[in-house]
Structure 1
Amino acid sequence: RGSPAPTRPCMPLPFSLRGHQSMNLTVLNPGSLVSPGVHLLCYGPYAAPRDARALVRFQPDVNMALVHHLIMFASPGAPTSSRASCGGNIIYAWARTGQTTPQGLEISSAATGTAGLAYGVGPGSDIGHFSLQLHYQNMEGKPVFDKSGVRLSFESRPPKTRLRFDVLMSTRVNIPPAVFIDECVACRVTRGGTVFGFRNHAHRLARDIWTDEFDAHGAAKPSIGRLSAQEPQIIRLLPKPRSLAEGESLELHCLYNASGVDRPTRIGLDERSKEMCNQYYLSTSALRVECDGEVAAPSPPANAALNAAVAKYREASEGSPLGQVTGAAADGEWLYFFHRGKANFMNTQPLDFAPILRFSRKHASLGGAIGRGLFTVPHGLSLDPAGFLWATDVGSHQVFKLNAQTGAVLLKLGDGRAAAGPSSFNKPTDVAVERGSGEVYVADGYGNSRIAVFSSSGEYLREWGSAGSQPGQFRVPHGIVIDSRGLVYVADRENSRVQVFTQAGALVTVWASRVGADKGFGSNLVWRAHVSSVSYDPSLDLFAVTEGSNVILRSATGCTLLSRGPFLWPHDAILLPPLGPATPPALAGSWRANAGRPFSFAVAELEGKRVTQYEVRLGSGRAGLQSMYG
Structure 2
Amino acid sequence: SSSNYETGKIIYAWALGAGNFETGPDAGFVVGSRAGIEAPYLVLQSHFLNAVSNETAAEVAEVEMHATSKFPEKVISMSLFSHNQFSLPPQEERVEVKAKCCMKGAGSADLLAYRVHGHQYARDISLAVNNESIVSGDAQLPHFFTKDAAMHKLRQGSDWAATCAYNTEASNTTVTVGSGHNDEMCNMYLMLSSHVPFNSFCIGYYDGDGFENDKFPDCMIPEVVDVEGRLRVKNVLEMPELGQVGGLHLGYQGNPNWLLIFHRSGREMLQIDNPEPISEDVLMVWDTLANRSVTTFGRGLFNLPHGLTVDRDNNIWLTDVDSQLAYKLDPSGKLHLTVGMSNERGHDRKHLCRPTEVAVANNGDFFVSDGYCNERVVRYDARGGVVAELGLPDANVVHSLVLDDCSNTLYVADREKSHVRLLDADSGQEHPYIDLSQFGYVYSLTKDEYGNIYALTWQRDVPVRKTYLVQFQARAALYFQQYGSFQLMPIELPGIEFPHDFAVSYNFQEHALDIYVGETGPGPHGKVTSFSFAL
TM-score (norm 2): 0.50
Q: Which has the larger radius of gyration?
A: 1
